Amino acid sequence: MTHALREQPATDIINPATGEVIATVPAHSKDDTREAFARARVAQKRWEKTSFRQRRKIFLRFHNLVLDNRERLMDTIQDENGKSRLSALEEVLDVALTARHYGYKGEKLLRPRRRKPVMPLLTSTWEQRAPKGVVGVIAPFNYPLALSISDALAALMAGNAVVLKPDSQTPLSALAGVELLERAGLPRDVFQVVPGRGSEVGQAIVEECDYLMFTGSTATGERLAQQAAARLIDYSMELGGKNAMIVAHDADLKRTVDGAWTACFGNSGQLCISIERLYVHREVAEEFIPAFVSRVQALRVGAGHDWDVDMGSLISVEHADEVERLVDDAVDKGATVLTGGRRLRELGDAFFAPTVLTDVPESAELYRAEVFGPVVYIEVVDSNEEAIERANDTTYGLNSSVWASPKTGRAIAKQLQTGTVNINEGYAPAWSAIDAPMGGWKKSGVGRRHGDGGLTKYTEQRNVTQTRLMSLMDNTVPRAQWAETLATMLRLGRDILR
Ligand code: NAP
């Protein structure tokens, strides 16, 4: 936790790209987590009384501190996750953008709003928003700064305290982020980080929190959703994906080849919104496929803080084993490897080559399952309609990428069953449009982050209605006569009080 507790067993944090132990962090227990909640509840009472102006000031100071300290943050992210510097930069920018967005927009979204009363003049109605209390955030390893801090920022702006469990493999970025928030003026105990296992800290969060913000696999999300439902607490789930890219007949192919590698291999494919399936229109397939494959072959894979590296390692040797198993299964069942398809043990045991497959049979596990690694497959289709049908043929619905002329792109986008659609990009522009909601259809999630709802979900609503002059139920008038009066007023008001 950010603040000292009793002695705990420790977890070694390993740089997956080098295999080195870079830090040792306490592995906290359920009891520690409950203590963190108790402190957060006390701190939250004071925090909710702060003005929007005060919160905005802290958020904007934090925005600048994040940018000023970006080199240190990127080092931490890369060292605990193994990703490239470019992927680490995405996280820093996301946190700054989110702080700025909710810093400026928070008050407008949260201040009391007048609502239409049932009887104007006789009554006035306001909608008020109050914080939920203590929000539990459970985060995954893949964007250890952004997915820990950005969702928490919205909860904090709404007056909540936050208890966060980062992934056990990657707690350091979240700890660094909270340190900067406290330097920006966030009071102690309002945002606590409790490193530890999902089965301990994660479970205690689900048992204690007033709202659950979970990002991770669909399997874990389904389980936690049931637990939250049993407690009748609200939750938001950002889950897995098997995202498709469509290359339409009128795509600008040079631009598509340049953009597609980031869409597929950004963060070594360990990105919920990265692409794992490409549907390429037959008219352009002959030109696109070899150009894309040779662009992928030119990617620079490696470790370290050098900006020139395009792709880093996977999160762990175990995850590389799983990616290898899925690729081998596809190849055994008839898939063709266009490039990659193997470990890069010369770089380290957690490295896997950026891989492009084709002829993947439906019987292969990765045909439908999320790999969460640098592995994509290509299918050639005869029409844009066929591409849309294939893209939607999945239990997931997180992100799609469409490469086409603007008109074709928008026409295709309307038919895709995903929470975001990026036209002529992979994932970044829709994600970074923080003013718009972002999340998953189908098994990719429940609720949304970003947008107005990404903040208001962390609040309870209160309808306050004040009655003036007389009661709506006048007991001095005979009831039948009163009923007639009300009916007449409703009739008269039908088109006036719309
Ligand atoms: P995961 O296994 O579900 O773990 C995510 C987090 O949940 C970790 O902090 C984990 O803790 C914790 N956890 C696991 N079991 C738990 C339990 N029983 N109770 C409470 N907490 C528990 O996910 P992952 O495989 O590491 O992450 C990758 C997945 O996340 C992919 O499917 C990816 O698509 C998805 N993802 C989605 C989004 C999105 O925005 N939609 C963003 C990023 C990632 P420990 O592992 O530390 O024990």
pLDDT higher than 80, residue 474: no
| Per-residue confidence (pLDDT) for residue 4, from 0 to 100 | 45
For residue 240, which atom of ligand 1 is closest to its CA?
A: 34
Q: Is 417 in the pocket of ligand 1 (CB under 6 A)?
A: no
Q: Is 335 in the pocket of ligand 1 (CB under 6 A)?
A: no
- Per the model's pLDDT, the better-predicted residue between 474 and 385 turns out to be 385
Mean pLDDT of the chain, nearest integer: 96
Q: What is the pLDDT of residues 136-193, one digit of tens each?
A: 999 999 999 999 999 999 999 999 999 999 999 999 999 999 999 999 999 999 999 9
Q: What is the pLDDT of residues 217-230, one digit of tens each?
A: 999 999 999 999 99
Candidate of 11, 141, 167 to mutate for ligand 1, largest count of ligand atoms within 8 Å of Cβ:
167
- The pTM assigned to this predicted structure is 0.96
Q: Is 157 in the pocket of ligand 1 (CB under 6 A)?
A: no
- Per the model's pLDDT, the better-predicted residue between 110 and 474 turns out to be 110
What is the pLDDT averaged over residues 441-455? 98
| Per-residue confidence (pLDDT) for residue 149, from 0 to 100 | 98
What is the pLDDT averaged over residues 347-371? 98
pLDDT higher than 90, residue 122: no
pLDDT band at 493 (very low <50, low <70, confident <90, very high): confident
Helices and strands: H and E segment counts in the chain: 16, 20
197: nearest Cα among 225, 174, 165: 165
Q: Is 215 in the pocket of ligand 1 (CB under 6 A)?
A: yes
| Per-residue confidence (pLDDT) for residue 120, from 0 to 100 | 85
pLDDT higher than 80, residue 498: no
| Per-residue confidence (pLDDT) for residue 432, from 0 to 100 | 97
CA of 247 to the centre of ligand 1 (A): 31
CA of 266 to the centre of ligand 1 (A): 19
Q: Is 51 in the pocket of ligand 1 (CB under 6 A)?
A: no
Q: Per-residue b/e over 345-372, b at no fewer than 16 CB within 10 Å? A: eebbbbbbbbbbbbbbeeebebbeebbb
Q: Is 91 in the pocket of ligand 1 (CB under 6 A)?
A: no
Active-site amino acid positions: 238, 272
Q: How far apart are CA 298 and CA 101, in angstroms?
A: 37
CA of 167 to the centre of ligand 1 (A): 7
pLDDT band at 339 (very low <50, low <70, confident <90, very high): very high
Q: Is 370 in the pocket of ligand 1 (CB under 6 A)?
A: yes
pLDDT higher than 50, residue 405: yes
Q: In 111-243, where does DSSP find H-type helix? A: 146-157, 172-183, 203-208, 218-231
Q: What does 313-340 look like in DSSP terms, one character per residue?
A: --S-HHHHHHHHHHHHHHHHTT-EEEE-
pLDDT band at 1 (very low <50, low <70, confident <90, very high): low
pLDDT band at 7 (very low <50, low <70, confident <90, very high): low
pLDDT higher than 60, residue 281: yes
CA nearest ligand 1 atom 26, residue: 140
Q: Give the distance, in angstroms, between the CA of residue 77 and the centroid of all CA atoms in the same chain.
A: 17
What is the pLDDT averaged over residues 448-454? 98
Say whether domain 243-438 belongs to CATH 2.40.110.10.
no
Of 411-415, 431-435, 491-495, which range is least confident? Answer: 491-495
Q: Is 202 in the pocket of ligand 1 (CB under 6 A)?
A: yes
For residue 241, which atom of ligand 1 is closest to its CA?
A: 34
Residue 22 structure tokens: 């870079």
The CATH T-level fold of domain 10-239+450-459 is Aldehyde Dehydrogenase; Chain A, domain 1 (3.40.605)
Q: Is 238 in the pocket of ligand 1 (CB under 6 A)?
A: yes
Domain with CATH 3.40.309.10 in the chain: 243-438
Candidate of 87, 220, 226, 271 to mutate for ligand 1, largest count of ligand atoms within 8 Å of Cβ:
220
CA of 238 to the centre of ligand 1 (A): 9
CA nearest ligand 1 atom 20, residue: 202
CA nearest ligand 1 atom 12, residue: 198
pLDDT above 90 as % of the chain = 92
pLDDT band at 8 (very low <50, low <70, confident <90, very high): low
Domain with CATH 3.40.605.10 in the chain: 10-239+450-459
What is the pLDDT averaged over residues 83-106? 98
Residue with tokens 């929470």: 419
CA nearest ligand 1 atom 46, residue: 167
Of 7-21, 375-389, 421-435, which range is least confident? Answer: 7-21
Give 96-118 as a 3 state SS string. HHHHHHHHHHHHHHHCCEEECCC
Burial class (CB in 10 A: 0-12, 13-18, 19+), 207: middle
CA nearest ligand 1 atom 16, residue: 198
Q: What is the pLDDT of residues 49-59, one digit of tens each?
A: 999 999 999 99
pLDDT above 70 as % of the chain = 98
Q: Is 197 in the pocket of ligand 1 (CB under 6 A)?
A: yes
What is the pLDDT averaged over residues 194-216? 98
Q: What is the pLDDT of residues 234-268, one digit of tens each?
A: 999 999 999 999 999 999 999 999 999 999 999 99
